[in-house]
Amino acid sequence: MEKSKIYSKIIYNRQIEKELLPWIENYPAGKVFLATEETVNRIWVSKYNTFFESHGIKKIVIAAGENNKKMESAAMIWEFLSKNGGDRKSLLINIGGGMLTDLAGFAGTTFKRGIDFLNVPTTLLSQVDASVGGKTGINFSGLKNEVGTFKEPVAVIINTDFLKTIDKENFISGFAEMIKHGLIKSPEHLKELKEFNIENIDYDILQEVIRHSVNVKEYFVRNDLTENNIRKALNFGHTAGHAFESLAMRQNRPILHGFAVAYGMILEIDLSVKICGFPEKKLNEFTRWLLNIYGKFEISTIDFEQLYELMTHDKKNEAGRINFTLLSETGKIEINQNCEKEMILKALEYYRKL
């Protein structure tokens, strides 16, 4: 198995042991490790314990939940690798959702200045977004993904069987990132998402829909790995979305990432109408669709300043200006759109009144 030095190999396969084996055999004995989290370990990974143990793979299990995507958890993985003989020729297999692949990817890319890691995402959100694209990270000082790196996994194995055990909220959380991919690049993908039955999921059809969504993300990643230009398209909905997500954490009413992105997309489509001439009719259409799936995160006018302040921390900002990725039409992005505070507050008011 040839190791990819720049881009991940995206593998669509529902036979995990068969697909992992050539990767395991490509690394020295005793130098392959496994990171997962409690829930995934209980439901899925424990089924493969005999397989992993037969290949001498040691396992670390991290507590579940976004609140564990932190420096202390990364340090646990560093200590685990160090105590068990991890070196620069090691491979770290990460099996879990976006929290785990972000965290363990960060730990892997910083241990010994970087070891190879392979992601096996187990949620829809991680399959279409978090585990693909070479971003790793941890939350720090109350801010999401404040510390992280750009480093592609050697491979990502996507298997929709894992999605059979996630609840509806987590499924539609990932679905929001797929909607985003349709909005920024592919009206065809957007159409198949509108037609997809999220109440009665066909997992064979879903495997192909995921492939189409990942293809959109790969297009932007391949053309701009370190987010200097068009990869910023993937941040559509996220400048406002991360602010909603952080506010929800501060107010002790946390929301799933995809829900925050859905609310952020509503706000940023409204900004797109005002700044980039996006059709207002489509704003109304997409707002109804997103509200129907995700409901609404209630905010009041007293939250506006805090939401604005959270947007100022966005990593895409430059020279103190808040930069949005907006749309001029479905599938047509406009990056580096600077929005004045007054306009952002008006967009928040539009959202509040929905």
pLDDT at 315: 64
> Region 141-150: what's the mean pLDDT?
86
Q: Which of 66, 152, 177, 268 is catalytic?
A: 177
Q: Which of 181, 238, 245, 268 is catalytic?
A: 238
Nearest to 186 by CA among 207, 163, 209: 209
Who contacts 144 (Cβ-Cβ below 8 Å, separation ≥6)? 242, 245, 246
Q: Which of 69, 144, 242, 245 is catalytic?
A: 242
The C-alpha atoms of residue 85 and residue 74 are separated, in whole angstroms, by 17
Which residues pair with residue 326 across a beta bridge? 334
Tens digit of each residue's pLDDT (9 = 90 or more) over 29-62: 999 999 999 999 999 999 999 999 999 999 999 9
Q: Which of 66, 152, 227, 245 is catalytic?
A: 227
DSSP E strands: which ranges in the chain? 9-12, 32-37, 58-62, 91-96, 116-121, 135-140, 143-150, 155-158, 323-329, 332-338
Tens digit of each residue's pLDDT (9 = 90 or more) over 66-115: 889 999 999 999 999 999 999 999 999 999 999 999 999 999 999 999 99
Q: What are phi and psi of 353, to 5 degrees?
A: -85, -5
Query: How far is CA 4 from its chain centroid?
Result: 21
238 catalytic per annotation: yes
296 catalytic per annotation: no
72 catalytic per annotation: no
Query: How far is CA 335 from its chain centroid?
Result: 20
pLDDT at 226: 80
Q: Which of 94, 217, 245, 334 is catalytic?
A: 217
181 catalytic per annotation: no
Q: Which of 113, 164, 281, 353 is catalytic?
A: 113
Nearest to 104 by CA among 159, 162, 48, 40: 40
What long-range pairs does 137-141 form, CB within 8 A, spacing at least 24? 137/69, 137/102, 137/106, 138/69, 138/70, 138/71, 138/73, 138/74, 138/102, 138/103, 138/106, 139/66, 139/69, 139/70, 140/70, 140/71
Specify the pTM. Answer: 0.89
pLDDT at 320: 66
pLDDT at 3: 43
Residue-averaged pLDDT of the chain? 93
Angle at 64 between CA 59 and CA 68, to 5 degrees: 100
> Region 185-203: what's the mean pLDDT?
96
The C-alpha atoms of residue 61 and residue 117 are separated, in whole angstroms, by 16
What amino acid is encoded at 279 in this protein?
Answer: P
Tell me the domains of the chain and their CATH numbers: 9-165 (3.40.50.1970), 168-352 (1.20.1090.10)
Q: Is 321 left (phi over 0), alpha (psi -120 to 50) or beta?
A: beta
Q: Which of 69, 151, 180, 257 is catalytic?
A: 257
3-state secondary structure (DSSP) of residue 35: strand
Token output for 52: 């992993």
Of 145 and 310, the structure prediction assigns the larger pLDDT to 310
Q: What are phi and psi of 326, to 5 degrees?
A: -125, 180
In 10 A of CB 87, how many CB atoms? 12
C-alpha distances (whole Å) from 301 to each of 121, 125, 226, 247 are 38, 31, 36, 13
227 catalytic per annotation: yes
Residue 318: band (very low, low, confident or very high) from pLDDT cuts 50, 70, 90: low
242 catalytic per annotation: yes
